[in-house]
């Protein structure tokens, strides 16, 4: 198949590009490469590499594609607070623009990378796709508005699907250390401390970054009528954890490390435990393959092997999207 992938130079996209190429697809990538300095591993190239803003794409760019996988976005909560208007332009207007031109170009399927963070502060825990949305950030609101805007375009010839991903962990050639598991582990390995910014009680659904990439592939192949215009939580009921459980797991491996409650965020309003039954019933053959312990082992090996992750890299924000973006925001002017 011919797949148009946005965000292929990102944390998840780097894995997804690799899997698509392993399956033999032709891949057109579109990415501004905002985080080129966060590269920490080998990247492969798509068949055609468009280094441009998704908002400047035109229908001709998508001609002949069987699927668009749209991952490019300003990709986390603090970034949304840095510049809410920019988050709106890129994440909402950019996504709806891309969906509109995809439909115009005759692309039949559009897989949108949404997020479980749209459930925000769950009124009750165990949130399924019908649960009320309670976003706690400009980022989460942008994902909701993008889903709504794209849904207006759904038609018999154009099937959007909204993959509401759990929070990722795991190694990637385009590493991120602003994700909770990765951050806690990198901190232990570079500073000898487990630093919790909240009191550790909030729930988070977690998923290995490569399992998210595998989910996109599964939805590429799923029968149209099964997934047409559907929102689906991507993760596993077994992988909802409280942040302090992650800290305990890491502490069990590094018993000499101190656990420090920094109190930086005080009360963390983002608290959501999510159900993933719809994913299991829709695609029973799709199972997550990489549990949390696997991800921690994999990263511990990778961060310690040459060249090992340094304290300067960790503290300097090289792998923190917000820190890098602050220096590159002019690219969007
Ligand atoms: N990582 C997670 O835990 C997680 C969880 C849920 C949802 N998501 C969503 O999945 C997607 C990918 O996440 P990620 O962690 O790989 O993020 P990332 O920040 O690592 O990658 C995003 C990529 O998009 C590119 N990009 C940003 N704006 C662009 C634009 N206007 N035009 C072209 N390229 C642009 C960046 O250069 C970057 O390579 C995002 O939409 C994110 O919101 C991520």
pLDDT at 267 > cutoff 60? no
pLDDT tier for residue 81 given thresholds of 50, 70 and 90:
confident
DSSP string, 83-119: -HHHHIIIIIIHHHHHHHHHHHTT--EEEEEEEGGGG
Mean pLDDT of the chain: 93
- Mean pLDDT throughout 252-257? 92
Name the nearest CA neighbour of 284 among 328, 222, 230, 242. 222
CATH of 2-174+206-238+271-289, one of 3.30.70.1380, 3.40.50.2000, 3.40.50.720, 3.40.50.1220: 3.40.50.720
Q: Are 163 and 230 in contact (CB under 8 A)?
A: no
The verdict on the CB of residue 69 being under 6 Å from ligand 1 is no
Q: Which residue has the tokens 């949108």?
A: 112
The 3-state DSSP class for residue 69 equals: strand
The verdict on the CB of residue 12 being under 6 Å from ligand 1 is yes
- Mean pLDDT throughout 56-85? 90
The 3-state DSSP class for residue 142 equals: helix
Residue 127 Cα to ligand 1 middle (Å): 24
| pLDDT for position 59 | 98
Q: Which two tokens stand for residue 189?
A: 């390995």
Expressed in angstroms, the distance from the first to the final Cα of the chain is 35
Residue 190 Cα to ligand 1 middle (Å): 26
pLDDT at 332 > cutoff 80? no
Name the nearest CA neighbour of 322 among 14, 10, 30, 35. 35
The verdict on the CB of residue 7 being under 6 Å from ligand 1 is yes
Question: Which segment of 35-44, 57-66, 259-268 scores lowest on mean pLDDT?
Answer: 259-268
- For the chain, give every domain's residue range: 2-174+206-238+271-289
| pLDDT for position 306 | 79
pLDDT tier for residue 268 given thresholds of 50, 70 and 90:
low
What DSSP character marks residue 159? E
Residue 267 Cα to ligand 1 middle (Å): 26
Which of 4, 5, 6, 7 most suits a substitution to test ligand 1, by most atoms within 8 Å of the C-beta? Answer: 7
Residue 256 Cα to ligand 1 middle (Å): 35
Nearest atom (ligand 1) to Cα of 14: 16
Q: Are 138 and 84 in contact (CB under 8 A)?
A: yes
Q: Does residue 216 or residue 77 have the better pLDDT?
A: 216
Residue 11 Cα to ligand 1 middle (Å): 7
Nearest atom (ligand 1) to Cα of 117: 6
Q: Tell me: the pLDDT tens digits for 197-221?
A: 878 888 999 999 999 999 999 999 9
Exposure class string for 246-270: b at 16+ Cβ within 10 A, else e: bbebbbeeeeebebeeeeeeeebeb
pLDDT at 266 > cutoff 70? no
pLDDT tier for residue 333 given thresholds of 50, 70 and 90:
low
pLDDT at 88 > cutoff 80? yes
The verdict on the CB of residue 31 being under 6 Å from ligand 1 is yes
Q: Which two tokens stand for residue 46?
A: 């798509």
Q: Are 244 and 220 in contact (CB under 8 A)?
A: no
Q: Tell me: the pLDDT tens digits for 269-281?
A: 677 899 999 999 9
Q: Tell me: the pLDDT tens digits for 284-298?
A: 999 999 999 999 999
Residue 71 Cα to ligand 1 middle (Å): 5
pLDDT at 108 > cutoff 80? yes
Q: Helix, strand, coil: what percent of the chain each, to 5?
A: 45, 20, 35
- Mean pLDDT throughout 293-321? 93
Q: Which residue, by CA, sits nearest to atom 30 of ligand 1?
A: 53
Q: Tell me: the pLDDT tens digits for 16-28?
A: 999 999 999 999 9
Nearest atom (ligand 1) to Cα of 55: 31
- Mean pLDDT throughout 71-75? 94
Q: Which two tokens stand for residue 164?
A: 């509401």
Q: Tell me: the pLDDT tens digits for 112-166?
A: 999 999 998 766 778 999 999 988 888 999 999 999 999 999 999 999 999 999 9
| pLDDT for position 272 | 82
Residue 70 Cα to ligand 1 middle (Å): 9
Largest CA distance in the chain: 59
- Mean pLDDT throughout 222-250? 96
- Angle among Cα 97, 109, 59 to the nearest 5 degrees reads 40
pTM tops 0.85: yes
Based on DSSP, count helices (H) and strands (E) in the chain, helices before strands.
13, 12
Strand partners, 165: 115, 234
Q: Which residue, by CA, sits nearest to atom 9 of ligand 1?
A: 113
- Mean pLDDT throughout 228-251? 95
Q: Tell me: the pLDDT tens digits for 40-55?
A: 999 999 999 999 999 9
């Amino acid at each position: 198949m011919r797949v148009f992938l946005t965000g292929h130079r990102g944390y998840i996209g780097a894995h997804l590009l690799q899997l698509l190429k392993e399956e033999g697809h032709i891949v057109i990538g579109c990415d501004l490469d905002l985080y080129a300095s966060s590269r920490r591993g080998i990247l492969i190239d798509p068949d055609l590499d468009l280094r441009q803003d998704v908002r400047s794409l035109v229908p001709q760019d998508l001609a002949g594609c069987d699927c668009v996988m749209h991952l490019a976005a300003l990709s986390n909560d603090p970034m949304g607070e840095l510049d809410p208007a920019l988050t709106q332009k890129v994440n909402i207007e950019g996504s709806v623009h891309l969906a509109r031109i995809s439909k115009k170009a005759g692309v039949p399927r559009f897989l949108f990378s949404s997020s479980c963070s749209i459930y925000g502060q769950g009124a009750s825990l165990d949130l399924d796709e019908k649960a009320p949305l309670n976003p706690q950030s400009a980022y989460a609101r942008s994902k909701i508005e993008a889903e709504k805007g794209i849904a207006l375009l759904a038609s018999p010839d154009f099937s959007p699907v909204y993959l509401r991903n759990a929070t990722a962990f795991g190694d990637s050639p385009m590493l991120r250390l602003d994700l909770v598991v990765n951050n806690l582990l990198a901190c232990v390995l570079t500073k000898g401390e487990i630093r919790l910014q909240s009191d550790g009680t909030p729930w988070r659904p977690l998923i290995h970054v490569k399992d998210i990439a595998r989910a996109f592939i599964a939805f590429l192949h799923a029968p149209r009528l099964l997934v047409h215009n559907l929102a689906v939580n991507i993760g596993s009921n077994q992988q909802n954890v409280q942040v302090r459980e992650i800290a305990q797991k890491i502490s069990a491996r590094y018993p000499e490390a101190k656990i420090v409650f920094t109190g930086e965020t005080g009360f963390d309003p983002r608290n959501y435990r999510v159900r993933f039954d719809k994913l299991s019933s829709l695609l029973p053959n799709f199972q997550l393959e990489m549990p949390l312990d696997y991800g921690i082992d994999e990263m511990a090996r990778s961060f310690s092997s040459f060249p090992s992750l340094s304290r300067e890299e960790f503290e300097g924000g090289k792998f923190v999207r917000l820190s890098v973006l602050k220096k590159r925001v002019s690219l969007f002017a």
